[in-house]
Structure 1
Amino acid sequence: MSLFGNASSAASPANATQGDTSKDVQVKDGPEDSISDLAFSPMSEHLAVSSWDKKVRIYEIDAQGQSQGKALFEHEGPVLNCAWSKDGSKVFGAGADKAARMLDLGANTTQAQQVAAHDAPIRCIETLQIQGNNMLVTGSWDKTVKYWDLRQAQPAMTVNCQDRIYCMDIRDSMLVVGTADRYVDVINVNNPGSFYKTIQSPLKWQTRTVACFADATGYAMGSIEGRCAIQYVEERDQSSNFSFKCHRQNLPNQRDGSNVYSVNAISFHPIHGTFSTAGSDGTFHFWDKDAKHRLKGYPESGGSIPATCFNRNGNIFAYAVSYDWHKGYAHNSPTYPNKIMLHPITGDECKPRPGGKKR
């Protein structure tokens, strides 16, 4: 039985880079306000969703792409990020209430436990292991990154950054933190209290999102001016760094004019190492960084895409369609789309381009 029923057909050779969203399935009973983050469990087909309606919801997804709500917990303000424990037993949320909260899915309770606190809204949350211990790391607009041992009320360590934390990602022992004023800090979590490397983004405008390569040799970052940068960490690989334009729309009858949109989300495929970008223009694309090639581009979804993620096997790509606040509260509307879509990965959609450079 194929995923999502009869969704196994790939794009026709005549239009090989045009993606198809006709088999995409909407998640039932979605959030009541803008969606801020999506995270699949590393152990099962469960999707966590954080939202501006102050809730984190957990859905179970079956082989036909049908969804069922399984649990939820609440914050005291908009939830800005969510994450799973490595064993898939716990879900975490981080929010504007300056708190991080945890729901233990095996504890038979809907009450979330507060597990972290900052002096300003917590923008980012990730789980990690340090010396065999399961830990939590949070990044806040109070300009700090904090590590938390869930057995203790106080942070195990605090790292002061240059400015407010806007985005963060972790892969293996590499933690990448993007802040205001375009700083990017790379931390080796085996030495969690110091920066392994700090740069200012090669992109000229505000950093919006960052995602680590599947092999943890570098990261991709997106900015508000429709550009993405591929950055390797080690000096020996710096010649492979590059940036490219994306999420721009050419204006009719203007030779050089284009509308420029924010790159809101970047997600790496867990198997193939290719990646997606999604933006305020309502589109998403799949890319092969080694071949410097766009694999697929998809039609507009009817609203901005603020968040994306692949499941653990890489055969489902989840994307949220909702207001991303890039024009402020005055441009939000009750009629704006607010939904989560599940896209079945089929054929060669996310496979690297044949003959591309291998690392």
Structure 2
Amino acid sequence: MRALRWHGKHDIRCDTVPDPIIEEGRDAIIKVSTCAICGSDLHLFDGFMPTMESGDIMGHEFMGEVVEVGKNNKALSTGDRVVIPFTIFCGECDQCKRGNFSVCERSNRNKEKADKVFGHATAGLFGYSHLTGGYAGGQAEYVRVPMADTTHVKIPDGLTDEQVLFLGDIFPTGWQAAVNCDIQPEDTVAIWGAGPVGQMAIRSAVLLGARQVVVIDRVPERLVMAKAGGAITINFDEESVLDRLKELTNGKGPEKCIDAVGMESHATRSFDAMYDRVKQAVMLETDRPHVLREMIYVCRPAGILSVPGVYGGLIDKIPFGASMNKGLTWKMGQTHVNRWTDDLLRRIQEGQIDPSFVITHTVSLEQGPDMYKTFRDKEDGCIKVVMKP
């Protein structure tokens, strides 16, 4: 089969590799009909995530048809159409029983390695380094899905791939980010980053009843899309984020703040952004936390900081004293995808939202390597890339 594989920093290739096979009784093999490049894939492309190995298959947003099931898999049958969440979960451990699927205690087959880095292992993830299990990803013609009897979302007839693909990651990620804010009718929700997750967070915050939603970015196409979704936009290249947020909130600051950027935040005129870039260049810091610092500073006292943006390691110069003294609550983490998918699938079916709005480019798998650079550099108006194996 054909698959996109990581061969080093900025080196993604479409290679021919062996087809996956059933390895355990709960497995399923999926023939991929549609997959996507996620913003967090760029952290691998740019070389910021450790424990990647040459030849690893990329991708964790994918869906398709079940073509083979393991002998112990009673939940799926050949011919079923499924979206696969990026978090692999057993459904049986203590965390899964609590609905905390992204920290499943059994699915990370490199648990010992992850325990040393994080203190406790997270769940296994598709196509996202050997720290999260080293599982082959979904930017391929076929994928082996372990624990597939739980790790799936069945899709009913009448919905296109484009409408439901993002149930596997960015839609529930944006939704969880908004839910974590405990949005009240009088709230202003400020969202840093108008990429795909930020776009889903905007629409989620609107659906959950925020008084106003403000998004901070600098890419014109993203800001236009954000405005179409109901957000007030701030272009941080053209105006002061601090001053504009004060104006929009009568000097009080937003009650809820969402970091939909993560480890590669950009700022053009700030000293801290230059500081982070220098430290990152000499490997004294792994992530660039400009957005976190700004959120702490502008958030209204007793507010909530929600962090769906991915961070991989060490960050520096966080004003934790300000966060503590302002009484801010932090909520963060990888997404517990299947906690939200029943509700979100219903909302799609009822026409409350059509997540396909975010797609700007649809290409073949062979075009995938070139689209990584286009997506990262935000060329050609690129916001979200979908691939058809």
The verdict on a shared fold, with TM-score over 0.5 as the criterion, is: no
Alignment TM-score, normalising by the size of structure 2: 0.26
More strand by share: 1
Higher helix share: 2
